[in-house]
Amino acid sequence: MSSSSTPGLSRLNDADDGAAAAALHEVCASRAWGNKILAQRPYATTDALFAASDAAMAELTAEDLAEAMAGHPPIGRPKPGDATSNREQSGMAGASDELKEELLELNLAYQEKFGHVFLICATGRTGEQMRDAVRNRIDNSPEQEREIVRVELGKINRIRLTRLTETAEGDAA
């Protein structure tokens, strides 16, 4: 990751609070996370933004994490028309119908046990890797799972913040 300032970082720093809050909400649905990032502007470097994101993620309560997770569709079912969820879940694009059905069943079992969607940083993972991750994590305690989710959200936020700060004005986000 670059430690320099980028046009996208300058736009985030210079945007009015409303526009910056909206952009940050696209990164993470937790208002607490977004407010912490917003309050610390301007960022001198993308590394400073990543450090602030990591620190804000570490401070999220269980309720804040639940709010952040609510912004993520289930694995294998990206939001229709949402380029971000389609891009992040591209590992499912070539998955067989059997794998998609198995993942749906695992997602439902996971959601029944934990009360929220299975969350994983899906970028770069195959459908089989995501299925195996659900299988491995479904026996975790709620406390273990909450901390794994916190780590996974942090990874997702970094990927999305990178995209936000590297995207030039007018590019599709």
Domains and CATH numbers, the chain: 7-166 (1.10.3330.10)
Which tens digit of pLDDT belongs to each residue from 115-172? 988 999 988 888 899 999 999 999 999 999 999 999 999 999 999 999 999 875 544 4
The mean of the pLDDT values for the chain is 87
Long-range pairs for 36-42: beta carbons < 8 A, 24 or more residues apart: 41/12, 41/13, 42/13, 42/14
Task: For residue 11, give the 3-state DSSP assignment.
Answer: helix
- In this prediction the pTM is 0.86
The pLDDT value given to residue 152: 95
Which tens digit of pLDDT belongs to each residue from 73-92? 777 665 666 666 666 666 67
Handedness of CA 52, 30, 127, 137 (dihedral sign): positive
The pLDDT value given to residue 1: 41
Q: How far is CA 84 from the centre of its chain?
A: 10
* CA within 13 Å, CB half, 96: 5
Longest dimension (CA), the chain: 48
The pLDDT value given to residue 91: 67
